[in-house]
Chains A and B, each alone.
Chain A
Amino acid sequence: MKAWLPAVALGGLLAMLALVALLALEPRAAPTAAERVDEIARGLRCPDCAGLSVADSPTSSAQEIRRQIDDLVAGGATDAEVRDHFVARYGDWILLAPASPVVWVIPFAVVVAGAAGLGAWLIARRRGVAPSPPTTLSAEERRRLHEEAEALDA
Chain B
Amino acid sequence: MRHLRWLLVPLLVIPLGWLLFTGFGRDPREVASPLMGRPAPAWTLTSLDGETLSSEDLVGRPYVVNFWASYCIPACVDEHPVLAAAHEQYGDELEIVGVLYSDAPADAEGFLARYGDAGYPHLVDPDGRLAIEFGVTGPPESYFVDADGILRAKRFGPLTDALMADHLATILPSASR
Interface residues of A, Cβ cutoff 8 Å to B: 47-48, 59-61, 63-65, 67-68, 87-91, 93
* Chain A residues in 8 Å Cβ range of B134: 89
Q: Could you list 25 A-B pairs, sorted by A, with CB under 8 Å?
A: A47-B131, A47-B132, A47-B135, A47-B136, A47-B138, A48-B138, A60-B127, A60-B128, A61-B128, A64-B127, A64-B128, A64-B132, A65-B132, A89-B34, A89-B35, A89-B133, A89-B134, A90-B31, A90-B34, A90-B135, A91-B31, A91-B32, A91-B33, A91-B135, A93-B32
- How many residues on the B side are at the interface (Cβ–Cβ under 8 A)? 17
Interface residues of B, Cβ cutoff 8 Å to A: 31-35, 102, 127-129, 131-138
B128 (CB) vs chain A CBs: closest residue: A61
* Chain A residues in 8 Å Cβ range of B34: 87-91
A64 (CB) vs chain B CBs: closest residue: B127
Q: Closest Cβ of chain A: how far from B60's Cβ, in Å? A: 25
Besides the known contacts A48-B102, A48-B136, 4 further A-B residue pairs in the complex with CB atoms under 8 A apart:
A47-B135, A64-B127, A64-B128, A91-B135
Instruction: Report yes or no: B131 in contact with A61, Cβ–Cβ below 8 A.
Output: yes
Cα separation A91 to B31 with both chains bound (whole Å): 8
B31 (CB) vs chain A CBs: closest residue: A93
B131 (CB) vs chain A CBs: closest residue: A61
**Which of B33, B102, B138 is the one whose CB lies under 8 Å from A60?**
B102
Cα separation A39 to B50 with both chains bound (whole Å): 39
* Chain A residues in 8 Å Cβ range of B33: 90-91
**Which of A61, A87, A91 is the one whose CB lies under 8 Å from B132?**
A61
Cα separation A90 to B36 with both chains bound (whole Å): 11
* Chain B residues in 8 Å Cβ range of A48: 102, 136-138
* Chain B residues in 8 Å Cβ range of A67: 127
Cα separation A132 to B47 with both chains bound (whole Å): 90
B102 (CB) vs chain A CBs: closest residue: A60
Cα separation A88 to B132 with both chains bound (whole Å): 11
Among all A-B residue pairs, the 9 with the closest Cβ atoms: A89-B135, A90-B135, A64-B127, A91-B34, A93-B31, A61-B128, A48-B138, A47-B137, A60-B102
A63 (CB) vs chain B CBs: closest residue: B127
* Chain A residues in 8 Å Cβ range of B32: 91, 93
